[in-house]
Every structure is written in C-alpha cells, then in structure tokens.
Structure 1
Amino acid sequence: MNSKKIKTTTPEARKKIILNFLKDNESVTVQEIVNDCNASEITIRRDLAELEEKGLLIRTHGGAIRNTAAENLFTFNSKMNQNKENKEYICKIASRFIEDNDIIFIDCGSTLSFLSKFISKKESLTVITNSLPIISELINFSNIKLIIIGGEVVNERKAVYGHSAERTIGQYHANKAFIGADGISLAKGLTSYDEKEASITLKMAENADEVFLLCDSTKIEKNSFVTFAPYSILNCVITDNDLDLKYISKYQKNNVSLIHE
C-alpha cells in the first residue's frame, strides 16, 4: 500500500481504501491498512469485521483476503442468473404502473433489465436509461422514444456512469423512475455495493415524480456498503412473493408500500 499516511476519519473512507486495495491484490494486512489510514488496529479490525459480515472480504489472522464469490456479485452477467424468475415476476408487476405516453427513467441492474420485455408493446413511451441491455432490447421499437445517458461505459456492469451521466439525467424530468438497490432497510434506507451506481440511481429518483424500487425479497431489511438515499424518496417497493410478510406492516407504518403480488 502507499507509504504516505492518509488521515482517514470516517469508516466509509477506510472501507473504500480496503476494498480498492483488494481489487488489485489478493490480500492485505491489518498493519498495511493502519499505516495507510493512520488508524488504530482495533478500528481497522472492526472495519474488516463489518466488511466480512457484508460478504465483501474474508478475514485472516493478520488481515484479510479477497472474496472471489463477492466479486462475482458485482458483475452483471453473474447477477442476471440469480433469482431470475423472481426478477421477471417483479418486472411484470412494475410494468402495470407504466402507462402509455409516460416518460420514465430505468436504472441499470440485473432486475431492471427484465423490464424491457414487458413494456415494448406500449403504444407510446419515452425511456431514459443508462442500461446497455435495456438500450439493446428497446432500440428497434419505433413506439419507444429512447434517450441514452452518456458517460463512462463499465463493461462488467453493462452500464454508463460518471459525472457526464449525472449531468445528463439532471436535464430531464420523468413521470416515474424505476430504480434498483443492493439493499433497503428502515434503519439505513437504500444502500449499494458501488458508489458510482448509487449516484446515478439517486439522480434518477430526484428527477422523477414517482419512484419505484424494484428488488427481490433477499434485499429487504439488508444493508450494503454505501448508504445513498433515505427510504422516504420511494413511493413503493416492488418485490417477489417470497417476501417475509412481517415486513409489510412495518413498511406501511413508515409510509412505504410493499407490493409483492
């Protein structure tokens, strides 16, 4: 790691340093992180424990190693095949909220990518998206006005990110935004594994009249790495029928509708 010490006071910043290092290296020692972050061993061990709990690394006696299983979670192709039937089910429900002549944002992500098959027959629709699979599916439909968000293409995620993408989104206003997240909880709100992805998602939500979160039931009351928005930005959460029913009343009490059938 870097020989120059970086004064890092927030847990989020320290964890980002740890994960960035493990992207390029198989392992890291506690002492290396201590030196880089100018933090105590106790603090760093606590950070590693929290990251391990989220499945982002594996702790060892003197530090941590890369979790290759977690790496696969970040790639679009790997995520596409996880809970595929539930994702299609979620998108079928979501399509009922899309009306002819709507202007909609569609976020990137494996769940959202299934939405295109249920909306292509709409009489007229404007879709604004950063998702390459959505673009590929809808580009040949003359009834769909397709607005492509420009920016940095990230191959593994099959999506466009960056400041240019955020500026583009800010130029538009939609009736509805259909977004994704890696976790949602009443305690932490919406969370993501990736900061760039989270920034795009938040920008879409901020520029829409109604916001629909599409996520499978395994993400309900789960927290991921980056907290990026309060649950209050949502009009509704659309999930699958494997949902634990105890969550429905809890979310209703907090003015969030959970739809699962």
Structure 2
Amino acid sequence: MFAAERRQLILEMVRANGAVSLRELARVVQTSEVTVRRDVRALEAEGLLDRRHGGAVLPGGFTRESGFPQKSHLATAEKTAIADLAAGLVTEGEAVVVGAGTTTQELARRLARVPGLTVVTNSLLVAQALAHANRVEVVMTGGTLRGSNYALVGSGAEQSLQGLRVSRAFLSGSGLTAERGLSTSNMLSASVDRALVQAAAEVVVLADHTKLGTDTMFQTVPTDIITRLVTDEPSAHDDRAETELQALADRGVQITVAGGSSANEAPPEAGRPPERGRRDVPMPAPRRNPPPGSGGSGAPPPTQLRASGASPMDGPKPHRVADLAPRRR
C-alpha cells in the first residue's frame, strides 16, 4: 500500500471513530507502528487530525468526547486484558463501585462470576452486564441519563451516593497523566465520578495505553488519590507511555501492567486470576514518602521491579503483571 493510500485510510478511520490507537491503525493498514506514527505526523501537519498519546483523534479532540459506539471498538483486546486483571482484585462478599465506560463494562462481565458481591454503579451497561448474575446485588444511582455513554449523571446521581462506603472504586476516563490524574471531557460525568471516589476506601483506575499522557478538560481523580492503575503493555516504541507510567509510580500509584495476550483466551474463573506467563519490565522508580493521612512513618522497604507474585491489595493476585516499584532516593 502506498503512503497516500495508507494516510487516506487512516484519516477515514479517525473520522469514523473519533479516536483510534496506533496499534489498531497499524493492524488495519498492515504496517508497523513506526510507519503509522510517521503518517499521523504528516496528517497532523496538514491539519487533518490531532496526535494524542498512543493514537490519533479528530482536530479539537481535547474537548471532544467519543460516543459509546466509537469507544466500544477501540483497543478491545487491551480492555479485555485489563478487565481480566482488575477482576482478580475483587473477592467474594465485597462491596465495590464501578463507574461508566467500556473498560468498566468489560470488568462487570467478569464480576458476574464473583458470589456475594454488591456493585454500586451509575452505568446502565454495567448494570446490564450484572443483571442475571447469581448472588450479585446491583445498586444503581439516581440521576439523568446521558445517552452518549448510558450513564446516570447530575445532582440525583451525586446525592444518592452520599453516606455510601465501599472497599474500592473502579473508574475509567478519557485521559490519565501523572500531573493531573484521571480526567474526562464531560463536566457532568466528572462530577459523578468524583462522588463515586468519595464513597471508596481505595481507587483503581482502568486505562488502556492510549489514555496514558492524554489530558482532557475536567479532572475526576487527582493522582494522589489513585491507589492502583491497571493498564496494558505499551508498544516497544512508545517511550512516552513508559515515561508516564514511571511518573505515576513516582507519585505512589501501584502500577499493574497486563502483558500481551490473545483476544481468544478464555476468561478466568470467578475469584481466580488469569493464567499467563511472567513479564518483567526494567523500570525502577524513586520512592516517595507516603501521602498525608496514610499512617506511615516513612517509606516502606525498597523492592526491585518484578513480576507480581503479591499485590498490596486484598484478594487474588494476577500473574502476568509487572508492579512498578519506586527506587530509594
């Protein structure tokens, strides 16, 4: 395929979906991510699209939010791997909050197999995924329906969360940076996500590599409040993603990275992590002091970066992950 043909196809995909990852573009045009990145730069120079970390969006994408049909076709294999690992953090009998999003919808499908679970959500899609689950209680917020992502928002949703307390919240968003944390393009969604966070003792962010380093209008979860990030493995040439993960680790966020996996793998049994191979990522980081209110008197002992055999969170431990441990200063 000639360069002009590739670039025309790339432009058509971005126009159709609003945002497309470099990985997906490379797969469709049957070339390397390096070549696709060069094509995206050329199209950006012509003003036809905007580059975003790990992908491309329509011009003005900083404020634009893709609808559910577009998002559901982006980074599907990555979202599956992330959901597999996140489900391994949940144990029988827990009460959790699950926010709106396509990645959290994938998580909900796996949580349907965890007995005795209580899930609080403002997402119709999450509730639908759990509707026929045995011994899983679903509690929905009130609020006004946003048709673009099938989520309940507004004062009714926020008020229904007052006085609620759960073990952890699972949230997604439009972008994640070490500087601002999780963010989204819609003010109403951001407000409800902040209310969901207030109800949880721990906050787990689910974000695929295309969202790392992307900053959008409305902050939902500051970095210092994020307990853990579950993401997928960036490509070998994606230095920016590795840098952003390092910066998040430096800020005290536990990083769990899903290694490459087949989209045809069967999901793990309820309460059990997926069986995958080890993966080591040579990314040590400086250790910071614990955040205020954590109760710690100093930094915990330094650990080397390793394939995770133990997680600081309760519940089953995923196997094909890498925990980014900060270095001693």
Q: TM-score, normalised by structure 1?
A: 0.71
**How far is the alpha carbon of 1:224 from its aligned partner?**
0.8
* Inter-partner Cα distance in structure 2 for 1:53 and 1:119: 35
Q: Partners of 1:104 and 1:94 in 2: how far apart?
A: 12
**Which residue matches 2:19?**
none
- How far apart in 1 are the matches of 2:184 and 2:244? 20
Per-residue deviation, 1:53: 7.7
Partner of residue 93 from structure 1, selected from 73, 77, 85? 85
Tell me whether 101-110 or 248-257 shows the greater mean CA deviation.
248-257
> Of residues 222, 228, 234 in structure 2, which corresponds to 1:230?
222
Give runs of aligned pairs for residues 84-123 of structure 1, distance below 5 A: 84-123=76-115
Q: Which structure is higher in helix share?
A: 1
Q: Which residue does the alignment assign to 1:207?
A: 199
Counterpart CA distance in 1 for 2:75 and 2:125 is 18
Could you tell me which residue of structure 1 aligns to residue 257 of structure 2? 260
The CA distance in 2 between the partners of 1:170 and 1:123, in whole Å, is: 26
Partner Cα separation in structure 2 for residue 82 and residue 253 of structure 1? 29
- Aligned equivalents of 2:193 and 2:121: distance in 1? 10
Give the secondary-structure state (helix, strand or coil) at the position aligned to 2:102.
Answer: coil
Give a deviation string over 1:117-138, Cα, whole Å, max 9, x none. 2111112100000111111111
Give 1:207 shift: 1.2
Calculate the aligned-residue CA RMSD, in Å. Answer: 2.2
What is the alpha-carbon distance in structure 1 between the residues aligned to residue 245 and residue 178 of structure 2?
A: 12
**Where does structure 2 lack aligned partners over 5 or more consecutive residues?**
1-49, 236-240, 259-329
**Across the two proteins, how many residue pairs are aligned to each other?**
200
Please say if 1:179 is aligned against 2:171.
Answer: yes
In structure 1, runs of 5+ residues without a counterpart are 1-51, 59-66
| Residue deviations 1:114-173 (CA, integer Å, cap 9, x gap) | 012211111210000011111111111231011011110112211111100011112311
Is the Cα contact below 8 Å between 1:180 and 1:201 reproduced in 2? no
CA contact (8 A) 1:153 1:160 kept: yes
Report the TM-score, using the length of structure 2 for normalisation: 0.57
- In 2, Cα distance between equivalents of 1:204 and 1:80: 23
Report sequence identity in percent: 21
4+ residue segments displaced more than 3 Å? 52-58, 243-249
- Match for residue 157 of structure 2 among 156, 165, 183: 165
SS in 1 for 2:252: coil
For residues 140 and 93 of structure 1, the distance between their equivalents in structure 2, rounded to whole angstroms, comes to 22
Paired AA for residue 188 in structure 2: K
Post-superposition Cα deviations, 1:43-64, rounded to whole Å, max 9, x if no partner, equal xxxxxxxxx7875755xxxxxx
Query: 2: distance between equivalents of 1:53 and 1:219?
Result: 12
1:245 aligns with 2:242: yes
